Structure 1
């Protein structure tokens, strides 16, 4: 503890929520354990807010490789400058360990750690190893993953795996044991529809047409909460007019998502890593519609694993039609035992202590490195190409 309390844990993450939130969750856990933390990001990144404002932030250069020779050359220069900046940080801060969370802003920092002899771990949130993490995996000591199977791995990196899960926000974790109650035969049915920041429009286009095809009695029991893009709100509201729903709430952003997830009988969502982590932490059945333009189609890989585990149902976007969705909703909402079984499988798949598991892996790695001994992941997982 004395050694680790003297040197900071350096977390490297970009500004996107999928990479940034797990870094914030780990920072919070390490701080709670009494360890110092520092954040490294690029100019697009942000500082941790709220109770983590005391975490120092260092910004370095980075850039994804663009299309064409000129853009690639500019990106290479940015990465080169970032690597020099990161190596200077290593010499100045002498961190106990470095943790990368994917995205190109993590590349210079993790590379600098590897070449400076600082123990490094990377965290992969999706079922497909991201491009930045593919570059970094050969040099790091451990690779923490959220999914039991991760594609894009080299065989040589399989021994580095430790399955920690993907951290969820504290408000979600607090509801881990809330339990799932399937809808009663004649009682209300709570349906939650969330599209995320990208591609919510297809849900706004298809769901109203699907729901209006449901039997009148089923529609009368349906209490629907749906997230829409701001520009789609009035059109969606008009599409539901006259549907005879038991309740309807539309908004571009829900501030009480944890409570809505806990209350829902069925969710219709994308299959991003954070969404999957929250659904499975609470144990809520869901129709997953992967965003087809996600990098490396990782949302399809995410959804496919949950579908195979009986923890959700995947509907590829080309198959997400009003007729298909209406038939699926009518079938599922009439089968409370199926909903309950899927909720139980989702709950078994998920975890609420991913941040603690990740902190355990990181601190064990740092302690082993300080003692000059190899560190071994405490929890192995198999990965498939």
Structure 2
């Protein structure tokens, strides 16, 4: 059995796809997984690390671009469909999964032309235009949020949550630092490509933060473009920290954190709640339909997070908020419990089971412990 997954661009699209790929292989180790992406996103780097093969096609953005770029994007569609057709034939694909982004439309179109089973995964509260455009071609549409359902045919929709890698579910608790003598651990990241606004606020927060919490252990994913600037700021501030462009082993680092400062994309919220981690969320203000703010407010309302809107963000405010949470053990524990109470860990299991049912294949002999319906 061969599954082709069109996903890439950002971690928000790619990592749910990796979670699905791992679940297919857990169910059937003989399955063949092939990813399809472009040279523009993070997929080449991440998939090499994850040891999945990657095929590249020509795909360019259309929405939100100027007339010239939009025209070039439209002109690339026939080329992308032809390339997708060849890839599906070469790999004798049995199933195509589109996870949004530039590559999904052409892969879904080619799969429809070939009569191959095809599904969509939409991880965001408001679906992207790529998935909306190919919704009529999909046989199933798997959603993370109910709010996205009205963009697709009701008969196709399944609201299942966001697939996460099983590595996030291993030993999601750790002893309190006060009991072990270990320093408290703060994890900072702004998404797979980093976030300059968060990085700048953290730099401005270092002096007051270390005055309040001199033993704090910090891991900071900066993104490639901003790594040198941020690393130098830590050096000049005399703060020892793990400052890296990218975290490949996010499950391990996240499981070990006591508090997280992050954006609030759907993937981030799913991973935080799976691990039961309290968070300070700084939503991306330019996110389409303001969905990151909606995600963040939902977690805040549940008691697992504090929201700091980026337009109002200062280093002093960030330092104060971090210290207020970490210096109150009871509050930290309550936030952990509320975060864990939001988690949905069965999405990958459910999607894979439905995909096999769609293809008329039964591979239910390896089930995820605790998954719905298992």
**Is TM > 0.5 for Structure 1 vs Structure 2?**
yes
For each residue in 1:230-288, what CA deviation from the matched residue of structure 2 results, as whole angstroms up to 9, or x when unmatched? Answer: 222222332x44xxxxx731413456544432232211112234433332221111101
Report the counterpart of residue 237 of structure 1 in structure 2. Answer: 235
**Which of structures 1 and 2 has the bigger CA Rg?**
1
Partners in 2 of 1:83 and 1:203 — Cα distance?
A: 39
Report the counterpart of residue 107 of structure 2 in structure 1. Answer: 109
Partners in 1 of 2:186 and 2:39 — Cα distance?
A: 39
1:37 to 33, 38, 48: 33
Q: In structure 2, the residue corresponding to 1:104 is in which secondary structure?
A: coil
Change (3 A) 1:196 1:86: closer
Report the counterpart of residue 134 of structure 2 in structure 1. Answer: 136
Query: In 1, are the aligned partners of 2:97 and 2:120 still within 8 Å (CA)?
Result: yes
Within 5 A, what are the aligned runs for 1:10-25? 10-25=4-19
2:356 to 352, 357, 363: 363
Deviation of 1:78 after TM superposition, in Å, equals: 1.0
For each residue in 1:261-316, what CA deviation from the matched residue of structure 2 results, as whole angstroms up to 9, or x when unmatched? Answer: 22322111122344333322211111011222345544333323322332322211
2:151 to 151, 154, 158: 154
Partners in 2 of 1:68 and 1:257 — Cα distance?
A: 36
Partners in 1 of 2:152 and 2:104 — Cα distance?
A: 23
Partners in 1 of 2:23 and 2:233 — Cα distance?
A: 43
Partners in 2 of 1:259 and 1:155 — Cα distance?
A: 36
Change (3 A) 1:249 1:131: same
Residue 329 (structure 2) pairs with residue 333 (structure 1): no
Query: In 2, are the aligned partners of 1:19 and 1:103 still within 8 Å (CA)?
Result: yes
Q: In structure 2, the residue corresponding to 1:49 is in which secondary structure?
A: helix
Partners in 2 of 1:214 and 1:307 — Cα distance?
A: 23
Deviation of 1:186 after TM superposition, in Å, equals: 12
5+ residue gaps, structure 1: 242-246, 369-377, 381-385
For each residue in 1:301-352, what CA deviation from the matched residue of structure 2 results, as whole angstroms up to 9, or x when unmatched? Answer: 3323322332322211012223432442343223322221221222232355
Residue 245 (structure 2) pairs with residue 248 (structure 1): no
- Pick 1 or 2: higher relative contact order, CA cutoff 8 A, min separation 6: 1
RMSD: 3.5
Partners in 2 of 1:211 and 1:70 — Cα distance?
A: 44
1:261 to 251, 254, 265: 254
Q: Between Structure 1 and Structure 2, how many residues are aligned?
A: 353
2:97 to 96, 99, 102: 99
Q: In structure 2, the residue corresponding to 1:71 is in which secondary structure?
A: helix
Report the counterpart of residue 372 of structure 1 in structure 2. Answer: none
If the length of structure 1 is used for normalisation, what is the TM-score? 0.77
Q: In structure 2, the residue corresponding to 1:308 is in which secondary structure?
A: helix
For each residue in 1:114-160, what CA deviation from the matched residue of structure 2 results, as whole angstroms up to 9, or x when unmatched? Answer: 355433211122222122112122332222233x4444742644861
5+ residue gaps, structure 2: 362-370
Change (3 A) 1:282 1:158: farther
Deviation of 1:96 after TM superposition, in Å, equals: 2.8
If the length of structure 2 is used for normalisation, what is the TM-score? 0.79
Partners in 2 of 1:140 and 1:291 — Cα distance?
A: 30
Partners in 1 of 2:340 and 2:186 — Cα distance?
A: 18
Report the counterpart of residue 195 of structure 1 in structure 2. Answer: 190
Report the counterpart of residue 62 of structure 2 in structure 1. Answer: 65
Query: In 2, are the aligned partners of 1:28 and 1:52 still within 8 Å (CA)?
Result: no
Report the counterpart of residue 73 of structure 2 in structure 1. Answer: 75
Query: In 2, are the aligned partners of 1:98 and 1:120 still within 8 Å (CA)?
Result: yes
Partners in 2 of 1:38 and 1:232 — Cα distance?
A: 36
Query: In 2, are the aligned partners of 1:332 and 1:338 still within 8 Å (CA)?
Result: yes
Within 5 A, what are the aligned runs for 1:202-351? 202-210=197-205, 212-213=207-208, 216=211, 218-228=212-222, 229-238=227-236, 240-241=237-238, 248-253=240-245, 254=247, 257-351=250-344
